[in-house]
Amino acid sequence: MANARAATAAAVRPALLAAAALALAWAVVAIIAVDPEADPPTSYAAALPAARVADIAAGLGLILAGALAAAQPRSRRVGLLAMLAGSAWFGADLEGWQDGPSLLRSLGAAASPFTLALVLHFTLALPRGRLRSAAARTTTVAAYGIAAVVTLARALFRDPLLDLYCWRNCRDNSFLVDADPGIASALDDIWVWSALAIGLVLVGFGAHRLLTASGPGRRVLLPLVTPAVLVGATEAVYAVALLRTRLESPDAAGFAAIFLAQALSLALLAIGLAWTVVRVPRTGARVARLASDLGEAPPPGTLREALAAALGDPGVDVLYPRRGSHQLIDADGRPAELPARARAVARIARGERTLALVLHDPVLLDEPELERALGSAAKLSVENEALRAEALAQLHELSASRTRIVEAGDSARRGLERNLHDGAQQRLLALSYDLRLARAGAVADRDDELVAVLDTAADETATALDELRELAYGIYPAVLTEAGLAAALATLADGAPLPVELGHVTRVRQPPSVETTAYVTVAEAIGDAARRGASFAAVRVAREGGRLVIAVDDDGAPRSSRLLHVADRVGALAGTLHVGDTDLRAEMPCE
């Protein structure tokens, strides 16, 4: 890949040099063409020294800044557009070269209208020189199309000699086929209205880009789009001035001011382009420094922050593909997805395998540059981060699975309790009712023997009901779901084998799995306290900043059991259990 890039660069460089030399030659001729002594002046540059300086600054500036930009692969396209715009800008000066060759005057007149279309193309194609949207492509093609049609038609039908308002080149037209002042005047009208439209599109589009760009994107676009908007605005003002009077003259203060403003706007555009080209490699240097930083084993999990700082783009994100799947995760192992758009994605790979995807602002860097800058040392860091993210993702899955297991168990217990309640207990109730009926009949029949048997049966049924009730309650205390932890713990304390002092117990309802786990924790702690011969157990349950804290203290013999099954349950809800000799403290998130 590097070889291919070098080969491309080798092929491109002479062509670029030739283009730059050609543009410079054209510029030099245009600068020489301006004759300050001419009266009346045949170009704005000839009318005023200030206009001449601004004229040269605009055209030469665009060509030089464009050449500078074109030397960088990243900004080659916009650089070429700027060089072309600068050359087209000088067209007006060549058109007014009275002593020059007729062909150059005609070529200058043909080139001049393309300045505006090129600036529009340049602006719409920022920052990479590619037109991303269909609207941008249509607008650009339309601008070029209008400029081309008007230029071609003028070349064919406009004889300057017959033009009432002519002031630049009133002598000849090398391409003339059929002089038709009517068509020429209509073409002038079309062009003025078109220039007004293109100027306004440039203003509108530029303002929209600036307003909708993200922070770092706006920083990059600002020095380029702002002057472009000014160019569009001055062009629109120029068109309006022409609509008011066709009598254009560089001696008129209004027209001169408009020219000066537009030339300065273009000069600003050139400065902005040069500044941008010089500035971006500095980001590359920061990435290179980052690469050396990363070589010195940065703290794990900090790659995103390091990249964001180096790139000056706080929105930078680093995502890692999971092993053997297309699922993406972030540095913390949480599932993530590529944003739909508006972010550029740089892929960092080792061989065929993608190690990481760096999501950054599209204006910041090209993908291969970031990849190259991260370097092999950085790849090791990225690999560590990716491994860590993978491990964290597995940890998240594991704890989610633990939680699901606990919840499934609770749900099964609730179902079992419901079944006992609605099934076996109801049947026993029906049986005890039937036994009472039978007993009433036996009493009526004075069958004492049968009455005695039925009494025994009724007692047995009552005992069975009592036992079944205890069993069902033990499987799952219905009151926990119905009335919450406070009520359930109060009932637990009512039947506890030792005195239980309920301190503060929150009455705020918690998620079901949290309430059940809290209940089980307290129940187990009370049972454990009783087994260790405690004379009491004190229970507190409080919410502390998004966590449910359960504390059970007693005065029994020191614990030998670590209450591992309680620890498992609490752990499954991402909580912690501390078990001391006679104290126990469980904490779990409850939000």
Partner 1 sequence: MLTREGVVRLLADAGIEVVAQAEDAEGLLRQVRVTQPDAAVVDIRMPPSHTDEGLVATQQIRAEHPAIGVLLLSQYVEPSYAMRLLEEHPEGVGYLLKQRVFDGAVLVDALRRIADGETVVDPTIVARLVGRRRREDPLAELTEREREVLGLLAEGLSNRAIASRLYVTERTVEAHVKQIFLKLGLDVNPGSHRRVLAVLACLRGERLDEV
Q: β-strand 537-544 against 547-554: which pairing, if any? A: antiparallel
Q: Looking at the chain, how many residues does it have?
A: 591
Region binding partner 1 by CB under 8 A among candidate stretches 58-66, 209-217, 380-388, 468-476: 468-476
How far, in Å, CA of 393 to CA of 506, rounded? Answer: 34
Burial 10-41 (b: 16+ CB within 10 A, else e): eeeeeebeebbeebbebbebbbebbbeeeeeb
Residue 493 interacts with partner 1 (CB under 8 A)? yes
Residue 522 interacts with partner 1 (CB under 8 A)? no
Residue 432 interacts with partner 1 (CB under 8 A)? yes
Minimum CB distance to partner 1 smaller for 301 or for 484: 484
In the complex, least distance from residue 406 CB atom to partner 1, rounded to whole angstroms: 21
Beta-sheet strand order (sheet of 335-336): 335-336, 328-329, 317-321, 353-360, 344-350
**DSSP string of 367-393, one letter each residue:** HHHHHHHHHHHHHHHHHHHHHHHHHHH
**Measured CA distances, 539 to 488, 492, 560, 586 (Å):** 13, 11, 20, 12
One residue of 167, 175, 193, 473 binding partner 1 per CB under 8 A: 473
Minimum CB distance to partner 1 smaller for 252 or for 538: 538
Region binding partner 1 by CB under 8 A among candidate stretches 120-128, 207-215, 330-338, 425-433: 425-433
Minimum CB distance to partner 1 smaller for 334 or for 436: 436
**DSSP string of 285-337, one letter each residue:** HHHHHHHHHHHT-PPTT-HHHHHHHHHT-TT-EEEEEPTTSS-EE-TTS-EE-
Minimum CB distance to partner 1 smaller for 353 or for 436: 436
Region binding partner 1 by CB under 8 A among candidate stretches 137-145, 278-286, 470-478, 515-523: 470-478
Q: β-strand 353-360 against 317-321: which pairing, if any? A: antiparallel
Question: In terms of Cα–Cα distance, which of 89, 78, 129 is closest to 111?
Answer: 89
- Whether the CB-CB separation of 272 and 219 falls below 8 Å is answered with no
One residue of 101, 499, 580, 589 binding partner 1 per CB under 8 A: 499
Residue 536 interacts with partner 1 (CB under 8 A)? yes
One residue of 5, 130, 404, 436 binding partner 1 per CB under 8 A: 436
In the complex, least distance from residue 481 CB atom to partner 1, rounded to whole angstroms: 6
Region binding partner 1 by CB under 8 A among candidate stretches 217-225, 394-402, 445-453, 467-475: 467-475
- What does residue 181 show for φ and ψ, rounded to 5 degrees? -60, -30
Residue 460 interacts with partner 1 (CB under 8 A)? no
Minimum CB distance to partner 1 smaller for 535 or for 561: 535
Residue 416 interacts with partner 1 (CB under 8 A)? no
Q: β-strand 537-544 against 576-579: which pairing, if any? A: unpaired
Region binding partner 1 by CB under 8 A among candidate stretches 120-128, 266-274, 378-386, 465-473: 465-473
In the complex, least distance from residue 548 CB atom to partner 1, rounded to whole angstroms: 20
Helix residue ranges, H only, 495-563: 512-531
Residue 462 interacts with partner 1 (CB under 8 A)? yes
Place of tokens 């030397």: 71
Minimum CB distance to partner 1 smaller for 358 or for 435: 435
Residue 457 interacts with partner 1 (CB under 8 A)? no
**Measured CA distances, 490 to 473, 474, 482, 527, 533 (Å):** 14, 15, 14, 15, 21
Residues near 585 by beta carbon (within 8 Å), at least 6 away in sequence? 549, 550, 551, 577, 578
Minimum CB distance to partner 1 smaller for 323 or for 427: 427
Residue 531 interacts with partner 1 (CB under 8 A)? no
Q: Could you say which DSSP state residue 555 is in?
A: -
Region binding partner 1 by CB under 8 A among candidate stretches 168-176, 333-341, 373-381, 418-426: 418-426
Minimum CB distance to partner 1 smaller for 467 or for 544: 467
Residues near 161 by beta carbon (within 8 Å), at least 6 away in sequence? 170, 171, 172, 179
Residue 542 interacts with partner 1 (CB under 8 A)? no
Region binding partner 1 by CB under 8 A among candidate stretches 140-148, 343-351, 400-408, 490-498: 490-498
Region binding partner 1 by CB under 8 A among candidate stretches 217-225, 236-244, 350-358, 430-438: 430-438
Q: Which residues bind partner 1 (CB under 8 A)?
A: 418, 421-422, 425-430, 432-433, 436, 462, 465, 469, 472-473, 478-479, 481-483, 487, 490-491, 493-502, 535-536
